[in-house]
Structure 1
Amino acid sequence: MWFQNSINSLLVWDKEPLKWGRFQQTVFFLLCASVVPNGFGVFFTVFLTDTPSHHCLVPEVNLSQAWRDATIPIEVVDGRQELSSCSRYRLDVVRNLSAQGLVPGRDVNLTDLEREGCVDGWSYSRDIYQSTIVSEFDLVCSDQWKQPFTTTLLLLGILFGSFVSGQLSDRFGRKPVLFATMAVQTLFTIVQIFSPSWTVFSILFFMSGLGQISNYISGFVLGAEILTGNVRDMFSTMGISLGFAVGYMLLPLFAYFLRDWKSLLLGLSLPCFAYIPLWWFIPESPRWLLSQGRVEEAEAIIRKAAKINKVEAPQVIFEDYSTHVNENNTHPKSNNNFLDLLSTRNIRNTTIILCLLWLTLSTGYFGLSLNTSQLHANPYISCFFSAAVEVPAYISCWLAQRYLPRRVSVISLLLLEAVSLYSIQLVPQSLSYLSFALEMLGKFAVSASSTLMYAYTAELYPTVLRNTATGTCCTVSRVGSCITPFLLKLCFYFKYLPNIILGTLAAVSAFAAFFLPESFGQPLPQTIQQMRKIKSITCPFTTRAEHSKPVIVVESRL
């Protein structure tokens, strides 16, 4: 307790007039800018792994034009006639019939001809893309499972990177991990351009994923530990999320002008080198430095901040630091771990429900984001709208976090997502824009609720379990995102099946959220014993302190 209070009182910017000085403005905007590459670094798979229209390649052989046009069978897909993607009529048979002067459809019944696979490769449409990794490595037909698996490997890299980077950040500092993970993301993305095979590309894709969200988490924690008061609340809910959304909105612009997958990777990577000078402008967290006993470095940062803000720092800043540290070390520390999240029935139920909510929200968010290329005839337009809808979502989340009960907000947003996704299958095909609007409404709901869950989770657990609980829920959510690429492929069996599954998960999670305790306007639990006193079943529309000021928690997003 002394440590937190001393930090708040000793940081020269903690006084209200100085919470938004030039030092805070610099840290705020530079950290928000540092996560912009994450916006296009995660979702460039929308364009990178999209499957162009394709059919079997017909080599240059002696065929009449009529037989060349008839070599690829016509199939009915979703009520439309399309060229077969994975078969053709046997070329030797077609060649003999063509040599005999027979006319397909008149002299020969095409349905009687034997078919074969695409033994000579495929011909890909270039109406939208010059190339993708699907056309580069022929990830179609018998190898079509590799297309969603490629995205899953990136998401697995993000999962492991998020887990490891948190521990590295606690060990080596927020700033080094922030820039190291940015370097991993950038360098491995560039190296992917030279991949000679899909296997090599996939390995490098996984390595790139290790840094994709890790620098987002490090930047979030760094800002949360440097900034204070309402500025910290705005940074953690709206500021850094809007930085991510800006990068997401820039993605379709890059993809529109760079339609070759190698050019796209290079174009998205080169701007990241502009972040190298930020090393000299973004400071290390003074709180972390103090926790490591590096008092002089922490004091130097605070004095520099005071100089930038044009205020005078006290001559002695951490006079009693060593004394209080020694006093704290005389008391035994409790070692809390993952098992404490299952220690009692109350905590166990809360943990299970929250894991379900995080899994649902992550699956819904990535499902609706990665499916943008299928929502509209122009994938660039649909991707931009999918990104732009996150801006009002984050603003709404910030307002809801300040003025509305957590449980009411989460339940309402989950129900909005469920209703939107269920309603899509009721829309006639002639009203495709209405379906698109409903899917964007679902994306709005899942984006807002995903951001809100960070604060809600942190407020439900005591201080000794807060980081562990948030990290556990975040890890579970990454598992949901990893299965999303394969979930989207269920549309081959029934067009609306992915939306039905996502909507059902949202509806079930909304019901489960009803049993969570409310945290709005209530003091944070400090011990496990205090959390045990919280009742799991209470009315979702009332709180114990309806008129008290909401407590917004940004301890960690790890």
Structure 2
Amino acid sequence: MYDVNYEELLQKGVKKSDPSWKIVSCKNGWEYDTVEVPYSSISTEQNWVCENSALPSTAQAIFFCGAILGGLVFGWIADRFGRIPALVGTNLIGLVGGVATIFCSGFWAFSFCRFLVGMAFDNCFTMMYILVLEYVGPKWRTFVANMSIAIFFTFAASVLPWIAYYLADWKLLCLVTSAPLLFGLLTPWMVPESARWLVSQGKTDKAIGILQNLSRYNRTNVGENIYEKFRISCAKAQKEEDSERTYTVLDLFKTPRLRRITIVLIILWMAISLVFDGHVRNVETLGLDVFLTFTIASATEFPADTFLTMVLDVWGRRWLAAGSLIISGIFSLLATVVPVGIPSATSAILGRFAINISYNIGLQYVAEILPTVVRAQGVALVHIMGYVASIISPFVVYLANISTSLPLLILGVLGVLSGLLALFLPETLDQELPQTLQDGENFGLGQKIWDFPCIKKKEVQSEPQLRRTSFRRASIRESFRGAVRSSMINRSSIRSGKSICVPENQIV
């Protein structure tokens, strides 16, 4: 507040403040406007305003620092000890951090708890996402990956602001949103470990046990001779691949082509994260209340994911990622030149719709391109860089104080440029997930930048009773069949110059 005598100024007829007046801390306390948000927050309870107004933003930055550490830690755990331990761990630390937030009475205690929650942020989702992708066959991969987001994420995110409005207590909201993470502790008894990961670690017998359980559940008869061939081929391949080696995320940068792909993925995901978060924050300029704005922004996920599910396995990942990013950029730029109001708001919402598509393609795309032995660590690294970009997004949106067009201008240019960059990635449609680092290095060789799956001539192949399987050319429009005809078998077959004949009626 200004350190002046207001009575004297009013007597002199001064009714406008002078920025040159001396400023001191507020002496008489604060009254908070509860019209838009009809309940208190930790910021209002702790009076994080005026000279302390930067504390909430600092706490948010600390939250993303936790996300960076969590991505490194749980990515390493997932590749070293398994997907299930990482999934349980990230849910557990999120539960502890969320519940502990309720008892915070100071900034640093609150920031530490948000740091813990940040470690779980996104990781509790991506670990589950990786596990699903490694089990679900290519035929259903897109449907399962995207419709789960379209239905469950969209519904939960849309009702979240109204739960907050109904509870009208930030501590109770923390408890209600954190408690469900407790169910994550039941994961080891409900979800099997990734068979792909087990094979990559040389634990073939455990993988076979899981496959046998799944075949019984699916009421499919698989001959013991198939499992024996699987076991022998995996052992041979593991010996050649040096199964005792410990892989790290640095292995992604040791070969030229895999290094280039990883760098492009990092830049692309940073751009997607920044544009996505920028659009989320910029929606507030539409003039709606915060609860309705959040709901509208979240609801755009459903049509975007539904559309994506319908076309992703037809148009492919690469061109759809590029196209959605470019379209998002075009509509963002269009919002800066059309009249302010309904035209600009409509363009901005369409830009948000397109970036939703890009975001969900990116989630699946990254997990499909990176090889199994470092997939969790690689996905974590890419997402960590996305967190770094997300920290920048509030400052991009803050530029609206200088010019209301600046945020959308930056988001638009970034969307168009990153869309063009996406064309330099390999297409993963109808491709087996790469298992080893060498698979990742060779992935997409022979593809051209203008290859478009939708119009590319499809080769007609016969389907005899006895099919010759090959890691490179096997039909992958089969669901869980690829698990028994593991890429480990096929790599061993290729190296030995032999192929394994698998009877059609003995495949899971």
Q: Does 1:94 align with 2:15?
A: no
How far did 1:408 drift?
2.8
- Mapped to 1, the partners of 2:194 and 2:73 lie a distance apart of 19
1:116 equivalent among 1, 14, 23: 23
1:443-499 deviation digits (Å, cap 9, x = unpaired): 211111122234445666677786676554333223212322333333333333222
After superposition, residues 296-307 of structure 1 pair within 5 angstroms as: 298=207, 301-307=210-216
More off after superposition, 336-345 vs 370-379:
336-345
Which residue of 2 is the match for residue 453 of structure 1?
Answer: 362
More off after superposition, 458-467 vs 241-250:
458-467
Which residue of 2 is the match for residue 410 of structure 1?
Answer: 321
Going from structure 1 to structure 2, the CA distance change for 1:161 and 1:385 (only over 3 Å counts) comes to same
2:275 equivalent among 338, 350, 364: 364
Going from structure 1 to structure 2, the CA distance change for 1:401 and 1:193 (only over 3 Å counts) comes to same
How far did 1:514 drift?
4.4
Paired letter, 2:16? T
- Mapped to 2, the partners of 1:202 and 1:460 lie a distance apart of 35
Which residue of 2 is the match for residue 503 of structure 1?
Answer: 412
Q: Does 1:235 align with 2:140?
A: no
Q: Contact 1:346 / 1:532 at 8 angstroms: preserved in 2?
A: no
How far did 1:107 drift?
5.3
Q: Contact 2:71 / 2:381 at 8 angstroms: preserved in 1?
A: no
Instruction: Describe the SS at the equivalent of 2:280.
Output: helix
- Number of matched pairs: 457
Going from structure 1 to structure 2, the CA distance change for 1:331 and 1:372 (only over 3 Å counts) comes to same
Q: Does 1:218 align with 2:127?
A: yes
Going from structure 1 to structure 2, the CA distance change for 1:409 and 1:185 (only over 3 Å counts) comes to same
1:167 equivalent among 66, 70, 76: 76
2:168 equivalent among 254, 259, 270: 259
More off after superposition, 539-548 vs 419-428:
539-548
2:65 equivalent among 117, 133, 156: 156
Q: Contact 1:521 / 1:548 at 8 angstroms: preserved in 2?
A: no
After superposition, residues 181-196 of structure 1 pair within 5 angstroms as: 181-196=90-105
Q: Which runs of 5 or more residues in structure 1 are unaligned?
A: 1-86, 98-103
How far did 1:506 drift?
0.9
1:136-187 deviation digits (Å, cap 9, x = unpaired): 3333333333332322222222222122212212333322322232121122
- Mapped to 1, the partners of 2:177 and 2:251 lie a distance apart of 43
1:492 equivalent among 381, 385, 401: 401
After superposition, residues 441-480 of structure 1 pair within 5 angstroms as: 441-457=350-366, 470-480=379-389
After superposition, residues 305-384 of structure 1 pair within 5 angstroms as: 305-310=214-219, 318-320=227-229, 323-333=232-242, 349-384=260-295
- Mapped to 1, the partners of 2:112 and 2:194 lie a distance apart of 33
How far did 1:503 drift?
1.4
Q: Contact 2:131 / 2:194 at 8 angstroms: preserved in 1?
A: yes
How far did 1:380 drift?
0.9
Going from structure 1 to structure 2, the CA distance change for 1:276 and 1:448 (only over 3 Å counts) comes to same
Q: Contact 2:199 / 2:207 at 8 angstroms: preserved in 1?
A: yes
Q: Contact 2:282 / 2:397 at 8 angstroms: preserved in 1?
A: yes
Instruction: Describe the SS at the equivalent of 2:240.
Output: coil
How far did 1:191 drift?
0.6
Going from structure 1 to structure 2, the CA distance change for 1:473 and 1:534 (only over 3 Å counts) comes to farther
Instruction: Describe the SS at the equivalent of 2:307.
Output: helix
Q: Does 1:396 align with 2:307?
A: yes
Paired letter, 1:422? L
Going from structure 1 to structure 2, the CA distance change for 1:333 and 1:152 (only over 3 Å counts) comes to same
Q: Contact 1:161 / 1:213 at 8 angstroms: preserved in 2?
A: no
How far did 1:383 drift?
0.6
Which residue of 2 is the match for residue 48 of structure 1?
Answer: none
Q: Contact 2:84 / 2:187 at 8 angstroms: preserved in 1?
A: no
Which residue of 1 is the match for residue 54 of structure 2?
Answer: 145
Going from structure 1 to structure 2, the CA distance change for 1:233 and 1:534 (only over 3 Å counts) comes to same
Paired letter, 2:172? S
Q: Contact 2:139 / 2:477 at 8 angstroms: preserved in 1?
A: no
How far did 1:359 drift?
1.0
TM-score, normalised to structure 2, is 0.76
How far did 1:282 drift?
2.8
How far did 1:117 drift?
3.7
Q: Contact 2:79 / 2:376 at 8 angstroms: preserved in 1?
A: no
Q: Contact 1:185 / 1:212 at 8 angstroms: preserved in 2?
A: yes
Going from structure 1 to structure 2, the CA distance change for 1:286 and 1:268 (only over 3 Å counts) comes to same
Paired letter, 1:388? A
Q: Contact 2:326 / 2:420 at 8 angstroms: preserved in 1?
A: no
Which residue of 2 is the match for residue 440 of structure 1?
Answer: 349
Going from structure 1 to structure 2, the CA distance change for 1:173 and 1:514 (only over 3 Å counts) comes to closer
How far did 1:512 drift?
3.0
Which residue of 1 is the match for residue 501 of structure 2?
Answer: none
How far did 1:388 drift?
0.9
Going from structure 1 to structure 2, the CA distance change for 1:353 and 1:307 (only over 3 Å counts) comes to closer
Q: Contact 2:258 / 2:441 at 8 angstroms: preserved in 1?
A: no
More off after superposition, 274-283 vs 419-428:
274-283
Paired letter, 2:289? N
Going from structure 1 to structure 2, the CA distance change for 1:370 and 1:259 (only over 3 Å counts) comes to farther
How far did 1:389 drift?
0.4
Which residue of 2 is the match for residue 75 of structure 1?
Answer: none
Q: Contact 1:178 / 1:215 at 8 angstroms: preserved in 2?
A: yes
Q: Contact 2:326 / 2:419 at 8 angstroms: preserved in 1?
A: yes
Going from structure 1 to structure 2, the CA distance change for 1:117 and 1:442 (only over 3 Å counts) comes to farther
Paired letter, 2:23? E
Instruction: Describe the SS at the equivalent of 1:504.
Output: helix
Paired letter, 1:110? K
Q: Which runs of 5 or more residues in structure 2 are unaligned?
A: 461-474, 483-508
Q: Contact 2:137 / 2:477 at 8 angstroms: preserved in 1?
A: no
Q: Does 1:128 align with 2:40?
A: no
Instruction: Describe the SS at the equivalent of 2:31.
Output: strand
Q: Contact 2:252 / 2:258 at 8 angstroms: preserved in 1?
A: yes
Q: Contact 1:350 / 1:516 at 8 angstroms: preserved in 2?
A: yes
Going from structure 1 to structure 2, the CA distance change for 1:141 and 1:533 (only over 3 Å counts) comes to same
Going from structure 1 to structure 2, the CA distance change for 1:424 and 1:176 (only over 3 Å counts) comes to same
1:176-204 deviation digits (Å, cap 9, x = unpaired): 32223212112211111111111211111
How far did 1:229 drift?
4.6
Going from structure 1 to structure 2, the CA distance change for 1:171 and 1:349 (only over 3 Å counts) comes to closer
Q: Does 1:386 align with 2:294?
A: no
Larger radius of gyration: 1
Which residue of 1 is the match for residue 336 of structure 2?
Answer: 425
How far did 1:361 drift?
0.2
